[in-house]
Amino acid sequence: MKKPQTTATGKIGAGRADGISVSDATLRQFIGYHMKRAFNVVQSDLAHTLKPFDLRMLTYTAWF
């Protein structure tokens, strides 16, 4: 999976057509943010790996 483009200042989305620059600097202090980003990479890779077999990751719900 490709990483988002960042500038030297660490801002994601620099050079957007609308001129808005977005930074995730505030979020980077939270471990949950890093965990979610890591999960997104794993999930994307898993989906890509399973696609030739016509399989996908399932979401389980517990019924009590």
User: Are 57 and 44 a contacting pair, CB within 8 Å?
Assistant: no
- What's the start-to-end Cα distance of the chain, in Å? 37
HEC states along the chain? CCCCCECCCCEECCCCCCCCCEECCCHHHCHHHHHHHHHHHHHHHHHHHHHHHCCCCCCCCCCC
pLDDT average, residue stretch 11-39: 82
Tell me: the pLDDT tens digits for 30-50? 999 999 999 999 999 988 988
Domain assignments of the chain as residue spans, ordered by start: 1-64
In the predicted model, is pLDDT for residue 29 greater than 60?
yes
- pLDDT attached to residue 8: 52
